[in-house]
Structure 1
């Protein structure tokens, strides 16, 4: 049986600021992110299985990515936990805003690494995460490939 890659795309809005950066992105701002999640596996061959012919049900993949990424990052503001913006972050939290204090600088590169771990940990054993593409703007994106990280 052949290995097949399937991809599901997601959209979410997230704000961030890059602590210590020497350009405009040191200021709090946001992006309309587009995340493409590609998994690889073999289609189910058991004709009695309701998922017959599928590598993974798109709905099952959607549930994982929504729970791990979209529901947490959509309309959140992400700061490095060591940022001088911590006072702003705490003020926003006290006012009921969704703030994520990350262990990393919240660049697209680091976010896609974080997302790969979170999604990969939730996939069934017979399905592997192949790649992620996190598009920050129409012309800028970061990609993660399992083949580059094994």
Structure 2
């Protein structure tokens, strides 16, 4: 049977700052991110299975991505924990703000790699992550493809 790609799109609002950057993005600012998640697999061919004909139920994919990414990153501010931004992060946390400290510079490129790892761990057997597209603005995005990341 054919392998089919299934894509689901998500959106969330996240703030960040790029420590040491030489442009405007060194300042705390936010984006309306759009995330497209594409998985690949073979549709279920067992007619007695309630998911017959599906690679993955869109609802199941939605739960994975919401739990691993959207619910965590939506309306959060992301900082690299290995920079002086940690002081600002702690101040914001003390004031009740949702802050995420990561091990990387929170660029779209690094975020999409992080998201890929989180999603891959949760996918059912036989379904693979094919690609991710993380759109930061209307004209700027980072993409991750499994085919580019064979080890």
Which TM-score band (shorter chain)? over 0.9
For 2:131 and 2:47, locate their aligned partners in 1 and report how far apart those are by CA, in whole Å: 29
Residues 74-94 of structure 1 deviation map (CA, whole Å, 9 limit, x = unaligned): 000000002222221101111
1:101 equivalenced with 2:76 (yes/no): no
What does residue 53 of structure 1 align with?
Answer: 53
The 3-state SS of whatever aligns with 1:96 is coil
Following superposition of structure 1 onto structure 2, how do residues 1-150 of structure 1 map, counting pairs within 5 Å? 1-150=1-150
Residues 3-46 of structure 1 deviation map (CA, whole Å, 9 limit, x = unaligned): 00000000000000001000000000000000000000000000
Q: In the TM superposition, what is the alpha-carbon distance from 1:140 to its structure 2 partner?
A: 0.1
**What TM-score results when the alignment is normalised by the length of structure 2?**
0.98
**What TM-score results when the alignment is normalised by the length of structure 1?**
0.99
Q: In the TM superposition, what is the alpha-carbon distance from 1:143 to its structure 2 partner?
A: 0.1
Structure 1 residue runs of 4+, over 4 Å off? none
For 2:98 and 2:145, locate their aligned partners in 1 and report how far apart those are by CA, in whole Å: 29
Unaligned runs of 5+ in 1: none
For 1:123 and 1:115, locate their aligned partners in 2 and report how far apart those are by CA, in whole Å: 13
CA RMSD, Structure 1 to Structure 2 (Å)? 0.5
Residues 58-116 of structure 1 deviation map (CA, whole Å, 9 limit, x = unaligned): 00000000000000000000000022222211011111111001000000000000000
For 2:103 and 2:87, locate their aligned partners in 1 and report how far apart those are by CA, in whole Å: 17
Unaligned runs of 5+ in 2: none
Equivalent pairs, count: 150
